[in-house]
Structure 1
Amino acid sequence: MDIDVVNPADGSVLATVPLTSAAQVASLAADAGRVFRSGVWAGLAPRERAAAMLRLAGLMERDADVLARLDSEDAGKPITEAREGDIPGAIESIRWFAEAADKLAGAAPSTAPGVLAYTTREPFGVVAAILPWNYPLAMAAWKIGPALVAGNCLILKPADATPRSVLHVATLALEAGIPAGVLTVATGDGPTTGAALAADPRIGALSFTGSTATGRAILEASARSNLKRVSLEMGGKAPHVVMPDALALGDALIDGITEEAFLTAGQNCTAGSRVLVHESIHDEVVVRLAAAASALVIGDPANAETQVGPVIDDAAADRILVAIASAVERGAVAVAGGREVPVLPRGRYLAPTILAGVDPADPILTTEIFGPVMTVQAFATREEAIAMANAVDYGLHAAVWTQSLDDALALARGIEAGTVSVGAYSEGDMTVPFGGWKQSGFGGAEKSLAAFDQWTRVKTVWIQRP
């Protein structure tokens, strides 16, 4: 059975890829286990693995335009966003982890006389990663880098909607000299291919980025099978907290909030979809945000000037439009957007939407919409802002806008999120970890040296004089 890869921009079929069955997943896992045990990859010195990974990064750089086009077409991402953000970020990830290959270190704790104790970090062997569709190659690189550098053999399942850039990188890995079976791509869907990976007893660790519901199912499958290590990065409902002095930040404030809310048409787990503004500047911020959102260029993602492309499919568009209409029926005002925009036939393009005056009990304030929708609410005190920021089940990212060090520190401490950025929209660079709190995930961090914790296990060696 095959799966059609459909271009969200116009509904055209770009390619067909196989649906990997449970039996085929089992075969791939068995093959990867044999490759791991052979030592052709895990048995190399870290510097040798690093050299191959650096060659892979160089080949990705050579094919950067191809990779950007594949992600743009598969996900409906504006080509400029893919070309200037996603693909350079993916290449940087592979390079960064390659250069960290010899930074994995154990410890030799002080023990009793006559005893030598030390720890090592060792690969699991066969591991897997299940990817989202919104950042196909960028998210893949966050997992490929540390998993392979640590010596594992990785089975990678891209989203069924966006497999082509990952398939291309798998061919580049072979060209780079990474042995066959070290990086394997299993195309397919969640109920068949993803579920088989989660349940396979040969897989020692699995990293998942996607919905909270699927994350729960993966945890259940791990519990029923071999208790594989699971790391989850799931949904988000990120708040922006805008303090009274934030207007002095100028264009950086409005540009930062607008970018975080509407990048990738709002189809982003860290999208700043909840803007919490001090009551003294609320009305002015709403007017400025509405103007900025209305000025964004909606169009064909293949055009370099496009800033907002289509949402991924009909089901997503319908769900988003229903959420907007429901909020408006309950008294919210769409100060920008709130409608569908005709661009290309069979593509679903939604205008960046800002809702003010939302009913405090409206589910749109707590449910991840995963589309170009922002709500704006007023608060009176710092304590109220913290309570509003934390009044959701998610805790992936938050942003704070202020020039006050006291406010910045208090808000960063009080907001329940894995990453809090101050004075910017940023998840940080490769040197810092990225991961969620609450129902946004757990089990490890992406990026930084902390990412190796997902893909290695600690062994203690205790040597005692007889």
Structure 2
Amino acid sequence: MDIDVVNPADGTVLATVPLTSAAQVASLTAEAERVFRSRVWSGLAPRERAAAMLRLADLMERDAEVLARLDSEDAGKPITEAREGDIPGAIESIRWFAEAADKLAGTAPATAPGVLAYTVREPFGVVAAILPWNYPLAMAAWKIGPALVAGNCLILKPADATPRSVLHVASLALEAGIPPAVLTVATGDGPTTGAALAADPRIGALSFTGSTATGRAILEASARSNLKRASLEMGGKAPHVVMPDALGLGDALIDGITEAAFLTAGQNCTAGSRILVHESIHDEVVERLAAAASALVLGDPADPATQVGPVINVAAADRILAAIDGAVSRGAVAVAGGGEVAVVEGGRYVAPTVLANVDPADPILTTEIFGPVTTVQRFSTREEAIALANAVEYGLQATVWTARLDDALALAGGIEAGTVSVGAYSEGDMTVPFGGWKASGFGGAEKSLAAFHQWTREKAVWIELPAD
């Protein structure tokens, strides 16, 4: 059975890929386990693995335009966004982890005379990753880098909507000299292929990025099989807290909020989907944000001028539009956008939408919309802002807009999120860990040296030396 890869821009079929069955997953896992035990990859010195990974990064850079086109077509991402952001970021990730290959160190605790103790971090063997469709190659690179550098054999399941860039990188891995079955791509869907990976007892660790509902199912399957380590990065409902002095930040304020809300058509776990504004500047921020959202270029993702492309599919568009219509029916005002726009026949394009005057009990304030929609709420005190920021089940990312150190520290300390940025919408660079709290996930950080902890397990060695 095959799966059609559909272009969100116009509904045309770009390719077909196999649906990897449970039996085929078992076969791929067995082969990966054989290759791991052969030590053809795991037995290399860290710097030898690093050299192969750096060759892979060079090949990705050579084919950067191909990779950008594949992600743009599969995910409906504006080509400029893929070309200037996602693909360079993926290449940087592979290089960063390759260069960190010999930084994965253990410890040597102080012991009594005649005793030697030390710890090492060792690869699991066969590991797996299940990827989202919104950042196909960027998210893959966050997992490929540390998993392979640590010596594992990795089975990747790309989202069924966006497999082609990851398949291309797998072919580049072979060209770079990485042995077959060290990096395997298993195309397919969640209920069949993803479920088989989660249930396979030979897979020692599994990293998942996607919805909270699917993450819960993966966690349950992991527990029922071999208690494999499950690392989950799931949904978000990121607040942006705009303090009274924030207008003094100039264009950075509205530009940053606009980028956070509408990058990748808002189909982003860290999308700034809740703007919390101090009452003293609320009206001005709403006016300026509405103008900025209305000025964004909604268009064909193949056009370099496009800033916002289509949403991923028909079901997503219907869900997003229903959420907007429901909020408006309960009194919210769409000060920008609010509906669908005809751009390219066969695609679904939702205008960047800003909702003000939202009922405090409206589900749109707590439900992840995963589309180009943001809401604006008022607050009067720092404590109220923290309470509003934390009034959701998610805790992935938040942004604070202020130049006051006391407000920045109080809000960063009070908001329940894995990442809090101040004065800019950011998840941090490769040196900074990224992961969620609450229903946004747990189990390990992406990026930074901390990412190696997802893909390795610690062993303690205790040696009692013979007495003289």
- The two structures have a TM-score, normalised by structure 2, of 0.99
Kindly indicate whether residue 210 of structure 2 is the aligned counterpart of residue 210 of structure 1: yes
Structure 1: which amino acid aligns with 2:13? V
Map 1:70-109; keep pairs closer than 5 Å: 70-109=70-109
Q: Deviations over 1:60-98 (max 9, x none)?
A: 000000000000000000000000000000000000000
Matched residue, 2:146: 146
Q: Deviations over 1:127-166 (max 9, x none)?
A: 0000000000000000000000000000000000000000
Structure 1: which amino acid aligns with 2:145? G
Map 1:253-332; keep pairs closer than 5 Å: 253-332=253-332
Q: Distance in 1 between matches of 2:83 and 2:274?
A: 28
1:5 counterpart SS class: strand
Matched residue, 2:432: 432
Q: Distance in 1 between matches of 2:444 and 2:400?
A: 24
Structure 1: which amino acid aligns with 2:464? Q
Q: Distance in 1 between matches of 2:66 and 2:201?
A: 36
Matched residue, 1:193: 193
Matched residues, number: 466
Q: Deviations over 1:330-383 (max 9, x none)?
A: 000000000101011110000000000000000000000000000000000000
Identical residues among aligned pairs (%) = 89
CA-CA distance at 1:102 after TM superposition: 0.1
Matched residue, 1:131: 131
Matched residue, 2:232: 232
Q: Distance in 2 between matches of 1:444 and 1:222?
A: 15
Matched residue, 1:18: 18
Map 1:57-68; keep pairs closer than 5 Å: 57-68=57-68
Q: Distance in 2 between matches of 1:222 and 1:232?
A: 12
Structure 2: which amino acid aligns with 1:147? A
Q: Distance in 1 between matches of 2:220 and 2:253?
A: 42
CA-CA distance at 1:101 after TM superposition: 0.1
1:360 counterpart SS class: coil
Matched residue, 1:375: 375
Matched residue, 1:114: 114
Please list every run of at least 4 consecutive aligned residues from structure 1 whose deviation after the TM superposition is greater than 2 angstroms.
Answer: none
CA-CA distance at 1:113 after TM superposition: 1.4
CA-CA distance at 1:173 after TM superposition: 0.1
Matched residue, 2:55: 55
1:412 counterpart SS class: helix
2:4 counterpart SS class: strand
Q: Distance in 2 between matches of 1:406 and 1:377?
A: 22
Q: Distance in 2 between matches of 1:273 and 1:463?
A: 54
Q: Deviations over 1:152-196 (max 9, x none)?
A: 000000000000000000000000000001000000000000000
1:204 counterpart SS class: strand
After superposition, the CA RMSD in angstroms is 0.4
Q: Distance in 1 between matches of 2:223 and 2:40?
A: 31
Q: Distance in 2 between matches of 1:280 and 1:108?
A: 56
Matched residue, 1:417: 417
Q: Distance in 1 between matches of 2:49 and 2:114?
A: 36
2:203 counterpart SS class: coil
- The two structures have a TM-score, normalised by structure 1, of 1.00
Q: Deviations over 1:399-425 (max 9, x none)?
A: 000010000000000000000000001
Q: Distance in 2 between matches of 1:325 and 1:218?
A: 33
Q: Distance in 1 between matches of 2:328 and 2:433?
A: 38
1:304 counterpart SS class: coil
Q: Distance in 1 between matches of 2:230 and 2:111?
A: 32
Q: Distance in 2 between matches of 1:362 and 1:287?
A: 22
Matched residue, 1:397: 397
Unpaired segments ≥5 residues, structure 2: none
CA-CA distance at 1:465 after TM superposition: 2.4
Unpaired segments ≥5 residues, structure 1: none
Matched residue, 1:447: 447
Q: Distance in 2 between matches of 1:96 and 1:322?
A: 42
CA-CA distance at 1:249 after TM superposition: 0.5
Structure 2: which amino acid aligns with 1:411? L
Kindly indicate whether residue 177 of structure 2 is the aligned counterpart of residue 161 of structure 1: no
Q: Distance in 2 between matches of 1:221 and 1:112?
A: 43
Q: Distance in 2 between matches of 1:261 and 1:298?
A: 14
Q: Distance in 2 between matches of 1:395 and 1:223?
A: 23
Q: Distance in 2 between matches of 1:106 and 1:415?
A: 33
Q: Distance in 2 between matches of 1:292 and 1:415?
A: 27
Structure 1: which amino acid aligns with 2:43? G
Matched residue, 1:465: 465
Q: Distance in 2 between matches of 1:174 and 1:449?
A: 26
Structure 2: which amino acid aligns with 1:353? T
Q: Deviations over 1:24-81 (max 9, x none)?
A: 0000000000000000000000000000000000000000000000000000000000
1:77 counterpart SS class: coil
Q: Distance in 1 between matches of 2:324 and 2:343?
A: 20
Q: Distance in 2 between matches of 1:298 and 1:222?
A: 41
Q: Distance in 2 between matches of 1:106 and 1:240?
A: 39
Q: Distance in 2 between matches of 1:47 and 1:324?
A: 52
